[in-house]
Amino acid sequence: MPFCPKCRAEYVEGTVLCSDCQIELVDELPPEDDVEMVNWQVLQEISDEVVGYVLKGVLEEVGIKVYLRPLRIPGYEGIRGSWVKSNWGDLMVPEEYLDEAREIIDEYMSSLKDEEID
């Protein structure tokens, strides 16, 4: 099976180009432990840990890497790492996925509002 070396998506035999990344597929994926420099960007401030993990799951489901950066200091209940921000933390994605991730989260949040109305 061919794979995309960038997003790691698997394709059916005969496919030669990743439909998302527009790069040539390879027969074997490179090891995941290869160091990759990522320019993380804040997609959204997160009000609490549960919201962070829900939104992280939404993005990871479509193949976008996500980093949750908590602003609380681990092991010190309630003590924040930042006195300026009042949110729980930041939802961060690689810069190249920022616009796509924003659209996905906006669509997801909109679907929740639609469910509340029904």
Instruction: Give pLDDT, residue 90.
Output: 93
Instruction: Give pLDDT, residue 41.
Output: 96
Query: How many of the other CB atoms lie within 10 Å of CB of 45?
Result: 14
Question: What is the rounded distance in angstroms from the CA atom of residue 37 to the CA atom of residue 79?
Answer: 30
Enter the pTM of the model.
0.61
Contact in structure between 65 and 39 (CB atoms under 8 Å): no
Handedness of CA 62, 64, 70, 71 (dihedral sign): negative
Task: Tell me the average confidence (pLDDT) per consecutive run of 10 residues in the chain, 118 residues long.
Answer: 87 90 88 75 93 95 93 66 70 96 95 73
Contact in structure between 5 and 26 (CB atoms under 8 Å): yes
